[in-house]
Amino acid sequence: MALFRVIKPQVLQQLKKSLGSTSCLQNRQASSSTDLKENLARLIPEKQALIKEFRGKHGNTKVGEITVDMIYGGMRSMKSMVTETSVLDPEEGIRFRGYSIPECQQLLPKAPGGDEPLPESLFWLLCTGEIPTEDQVKAISKEWANRADLPQHVVAMLNNFPNNVHPMAQFSAAITAMNSESKFAKGYASGTMKKADYWEKVYEDSMDLIAKLPTVAATIYCNLYKDGKIGAIDQDTDWSANFVNMLGYDNPQFTELMRLYLTIHSDHEGGNVSAHTCHLVGSALSDPYLSFAAAMNGLAGPLHGLANQEVLVWLTRLMEDIGEVTTEQMKEYVWNTLKNGQVVPGYGHAVLRKTDPRYTCQREFALKHLPDDPMFKLVSQLYEVVPDILLELGKAKNPWPNVDAHSGVLLQYYGMTEMSYYTVLFGVSRALGCLSSLIWSRALGFPLERPKSMSTEGLIKLVGSTK
């Protein structure tokens, strides 16, 4: 595999220009070391130096303004935090360390005979900004397989949950309980861990946690919907293949779907509810287990990750009520949803203003592998109908579909019909983004996050209004 530069040349040029000739940035090649921690140790001092230099020169430079509407309006567009792993463009969609989804599909290493990127390779990219070699990806697969076992008390806890505890509640509770294993928490409690060493312990916890998440998720799935027994971990296969095997599936195409799914749901810059929650809780030096569990409680909301469950519930109801659906019937169903004061799940976005590329790549997967599936046809039909209706309604800033409009349809095609489980898969993937960012937040010494809030009276006074 060819070696790639750490930072895209045009970005590097811009940074060099802005920082002048003293910049620490070098136009250099990625390392061939297969140890991710070693690679991080190489990159972190460079980034620290860059930020020091940048803040030294531009610490007081204004980057925007804050309006009253932004404060009441969920802080949309307010530039207020740094996330290194990905950036979301409203028109173009997500770029992971500068690479779009199609670029990732092309450049990231795949499983032998596979077409979709391995999530391990995306994690490497998120952590380092470098496209990994196949050997580097294999090393991650091996490490995660090695660390996949769960502590006994967590297995016991999962096995004792009653069936009416939602899979996301079980997932979050299990992650919280695994903090008994936190190396960061132990290091902090010892009183001997230096601030400069925080990131190493966060790295170790993150690797452990990511490795264990498929085991947690598969245990929940098999307890709720199967006979409670999960498949064994194969030390010589990749993270997604092990996950699919533990879930009890053996269709190689489903494994490929899982690789794509776990890659594209990983990261969506820093301001979304799950990523922001992990960042915020982590800033209190809560360990990665506690920080990520908090993120999962946010992902479980219907306006965020639970939308993938909502979409399938909503579509299934439509099919059950009407069967074969005409365009007119579909329009009526969408309007009824809106008239009942509900949102159309899977449509709209707080940042995106175009069709989500995560929707598009899942659609391409469906066109390739399941073009005649009735549910896929329904989703395609919806794509023709919903944007015009949302535009006519005139409220939603983005009438186009997001990632959640498509994922459930693919899962049900391969036999995973348990809709209330879908957000758990989103959660397993989101760990890659949340935790790579958490490693960097500690490496860069980001402080406790504590924005200023105001009362309405205080704001009125501040802007000099009489009302």
* Residues designated catalytic: 304, 349, 404
Residue closer to ligand CMX, measured from CB, 70 or 285: 70
Instruction: Please report whether residue 348 would count as binding ligand CMX according to CB under 6 A.
Output: yes
Closer to ligand CMX by CB, 183 or 358: give it: 358
Instruction: Candidates 161-169, 275-283, 336-344, 433-441: pick the segment binding ligand CMX (CB under 6 A).
Output: 336-344
Distance set, CA 39 to CA 44, 46, 86, 344 (Å): 9, 12, 19, 44
Using CB under 6 A, which of 184, 314, 347, 422 touches ligand CMX?
347
Residue from 132, 404, 407, 422 in contact with ligand CMX (CB under 6 A)? 404
- Return the residue of 343, 385, 444, 459 that touches ligand CMX, per CB under 6 A: 343
CB of 419 to ligand CMX, least distance (A): 14
List the Cα angle 150/239/408 in 5-degree steps: 100
Residue 293 in tokens: 């569990």
**Least distance CB 383 / ligand CMX (angstroms):** 13
Nearer of residues 105 and 398 to ligand CMX, judged by Cβ: 398
Q: Which of residues 52-111 bind ligand CMX (CB under 6 A)?
A: none
Q: Please, which residue, 317 or 397, has the CB nearer to ligand CMX?
A: 397
Per-residue binding letters, 381-400, with ligand CMX (x by CB under 6 A): --------------xxxx--
Residue nearest to ligand CMX (CB): 348
| Phi and psi torsions of 106, nearest 5° | -80, -40
346 touches ligand CMX by CB under 6 A: yes
Q: Which of 81, 218, 325, 344 binds ligand CMX (CB under 6 A)?
A: 344
* 71, 459 contact by CB (below 8 A): yes
Q: How far is the CB of 152 from ligand CMX (least distance, A)?
A: 34
User: φ, ψ for residue 30 (rounded to 5)?
Assistant: -65, 155
Interatomic CA distance for residues 428 and 262, integer angstroms: 7
Give 1 or 75: the residue with its C-beta nearer to ligand CMX: 75
72 within 8 A of 231, measured Cβ to Cβ: no
Whole-angstrom distance, CA of residue 443 vs CA of residue 5: 21
State which of positions 280-309 bind ligand CMX (CB under 6 A). 303-305, 307
Cα 414–262–318 angle (5° rounding)?
Answer: 45
Distance of CA 260 to the CA centre of its chain: 13
Contact 176, 293 (CB under 8 A): yes
- Residue 278 Cβ, how far from ligand CMX at the closest point, in Å? 14
List the beta strands (DSSP E) in 153-275: none
The three-class DSSP label of residue 87 is strand
Q: E strands within 55-117? A: 86-89, 93-96, 99-100
> What's the min distance (Å) between Cβ of 89 and ligand CMX?
16
Residue 349 in contact with ligand CMX, rule: CB under 6 A: yes
How many residues at the interface with ligand CMX, by CB under 6 A? Answer: 21
237 token code pair: 């296969």
At 344 the three-state DSSP class reads coil
**Measured from the CB atom, is 69 or 324 closer to ligand CMX?**
69
Rounded Cα distance between 339 and 369, Å, is: 36
CB of 347 to ligand CMX, least distance (A): 4
Give Cα separations from 376 to 307, 326, 329, 333, 366 (angstroms).
17, 15, 17, 17, 7
Nearer to ligand CMX, 255 or 272 (CB): 272
Which segment (42-50, 153-161, 338-346, 453-461) binds ligand CMX by CB under 6 A? Answer: 338-346
Binding to ligand CMX in span 306-325, by CB under 6 A: 307
CB of 160 to ligand CMX, least distance (A): 30
Does residue 271 bind ligand CMX (CB under 6 A)?
A: no
Would you say 131 or 403 has its CB closer to ligand CMX? 403
Interacting residues with ligand CMX between 184 and 223 (CB under 6 A): none
Six token digits for residue 416: 């995973």
Q: Among 7, 275, 220, which residue's Cα sits nearest to residue 125?
A: 7
Q: Nearest distance from residue 319's CB to ligand CMX, in Å? A: 19
CB atoms within 10 A of CB 428: 26
- Please tell me the distance from the alpha carbon of residue 454 to that of residue 450, in angstroms, as a whole number: 13
Q: Is 270 in the site for ligand CMX (CB under 6 A)?
A: no
Residues engaged in binding ligand CMX (CB under 6 A) = 272, 303-305, 307, 338, 343-350, 395-398, 402-404
